[in-house]
A = this chain, B = another copy of it.
Amino acid sequence: MTVTSPLGFEAAGVAAGIKASGALDLALVVNRGPLQNAAVVFTSNRAQANPILWSKQVAADGVVGAIVLNSGGANCFTGPEGFQVTHRTAEAVGEVLDISPGDVLVCSTGLIGDQLDGEVLAAGVVAAAAALATTGGEDAARAIMTTDSRPKTSVRSGDGWSIGGIAKGAGMLAPGLATMLVVITTDAALEHPALDAALRQATRVTFDRLDSDGCMSTNDQVSLLASGASGVTPDEADFRAVLTAVCRDLAEQLQADAEGASHDIAIEIIGAASELDAVEVGRSVARNNLFKAAIFGNDPNWGRVLAAIGTTSATFDPYDVDVSMNGVRVCSGGRPDRPREEVDLAPRAVHVLIDLRVGEASATILTNDLTHDYVHENSAYAS
């Protein structure tokens, strides 16, 4: 149940030979219409890969016919030759599908600084086009994997319409949608402005609140393609709710498969003066290596939580904050409360609740612990 679950889409995933391992490495998702509306959000990193530079132009008019994605190389900081490879890939897709290359989004993921072979990609596009099927979403989900241990897919239905998605990403997950490629499809009949507003609202409270390791990628892209094939134009609020559910499901799958992680940590901030404050406070904890290493060691070290939030500019009194871990209030009013020994951090899921006690706003940031496996995987990535 993936991007080919909604009506009007075909997909494929093939082994184009980009990865030396021979694994699937090129995916193609095609919108057969009748509508070809789309909305796309991109990494906010100023260092942007060639596919991002290209896709921003493609997305500008809100019309997208297909999206081609490769793993095995980020095509970032590869100069004008690298941009030519992206352009060539879009042209190959345009040719086999008989659509304008200017309606073809391109995504790449892998090591920065390595040149991709345009011939290999173009041949992969031909093979993918031949394999296109209304059941091809699973292969597409596999073809975009890098260090992911499993494909990520999600489907939710509305009243006569549905939304499906695939995602990859295991490291470099941070605000600005880091190292994450996501393709979401829908057969709902919606125009670009409605799609764009819904996608921005959904990503703001899902992918943008996943901060696995504080590192922002150069290649992130979340694309939403609408075929209109259901013939149904849903209520916009309904559509946003279902889209947000799909994005949250995929974000949680990304968190659960984060490189080397042994805990999935939800940092819930309540009692904040504003949502912005809540997000800032939550993110300061999510990015604190000492806190993250403590959770890896099943150590409910709440002092590191307070030391982290003390670095923010959010409105609160550091000496009047409550902190609970997995249901045990270890700190209240800035002082020790229940003994830390009562906290059980053995489960993979960890819930840290921080009550700032100044307002009504709240937010939850998702992160992971800092583990030996994280260090190992990321010290050996290039090899």
Q: When the two chains form their complex, are residues B306 and A379 in contact, meaning their CB atoms are under 8 A apart?
A: no
Q: Which residue of B lies closest to A212 (CB)?
A: B289
Restricting to A309-355, which residues have a CB under 8 Å from any CB of B?
A: 309-312, 318-319, 331, 333-336, 340
Which residues on B sit within 8 Å (CB–CB) of A374?
A: 289, 293, 375
Which residues on B sit within 8 Å (CB–CB) of A287?
A: 214
Q: Does A127 contact B (CB under 8 A)?
A: no
Scoring A112, A287, A294, A303 by chain B CB atoms within 10 A of each residue's CB, the highest score goes to A303
Q: When the two chains form their complex, are residues A306 and B47 in contact, meaning their CB atoms are under 8 A apart?
A: yes
Q: When the two chains form their complex, are residues A78 and B47 in contact, meaning their CB atoms are under 8 A apart?
A: no
A383 in complex: contacting residue of B293, B299, B307, B331, CB < 8 Å: B299
Given known pairs A378-B290, A381-B299, A382-B294, the reply for A215 and B307 (CB within 8 Å) is yes
Given known pairs A299-B383, A336-B113, A375-B370, the reply for A213 and B290 (CB within 8 Å) is yes
Q: Does A111 contact B (CB under 8 A)?
A: yes
Which residues on B sit within 8 Å (CB–CB) of A217?
A: 307
Determine chain A's interface SS by DSSP, over half rule: loop
Q: When the two chains form their complex, are residues B371 and A77 in contact, meaning their CB atoms are under 8 A apart?
A: no
User: How far is the CB of A161 from the nearest CB of chain B, in Å?
Assistant: 37
Interface size on A, residues (CB 8 A): 62
Q: When the two chains form their complex, are residues A335 and B215 in contact, meaning their CB atoms are under 8 A apart?
A: no
A113 in complex: contacting residue of B289, B303, B312, B370, CB < 8 Å: B303
Q: When the two chains form their complex, are residues A111 and B303 in contact, meaning their CB atoms are under 8 A apart?
A: yes
Q: Does A195 contact B (CB under 8 A)?
A: no
Q: Does A230 contact B (CB under 8 A)?
A: no
User: How far is the CB of A170 from the nearest CB of chain B, in Å?
Assistant: 12
Which residues on B sit within 8 Å (CB–CB) of A76?
A: 303, 306-307
Given known pairs A112-B304, A370-B375, A375-B370, the reply for A380 and B47 (CB within 8 Å) is no
Q: When the two chains form their complex, are residues B311 and A45 in contact, meaning their CB atoms are under 8 A apart?
A: yes
Q: Does A172 contact B (CB under 8 A)?
A: yes
Question: 1/0 per position for A201-231, CB-CB distance to B under 8 A?
Answer: 0000000000001111110000000000000
Question: 1/0 per position for A290-303, CB-CB distance to B under 8 A?
Answer: 10011011010111
Q: Does A40 contact B (CB under 8 A)?
A: no
Scoring A293, A312, A335 by chain B CB atoms within 10 A of each residue's CB, the highest score goes to A293
Sample of 15 A–B contacts (CB below 8 Å): A47-B307, A48-B318, A78-B336, A112-B301, A113-B340, A171-B290, A214-B288, A214-B289, A218-B303, A218-B307, A218-B310, A289-B289, A294-B379, A299-B380, A370-B378
A-B pairs, 6 with minimum CB distance: A112-B303, A47-B310, A297-B379, A293-B378, A79-B335, A47-B318
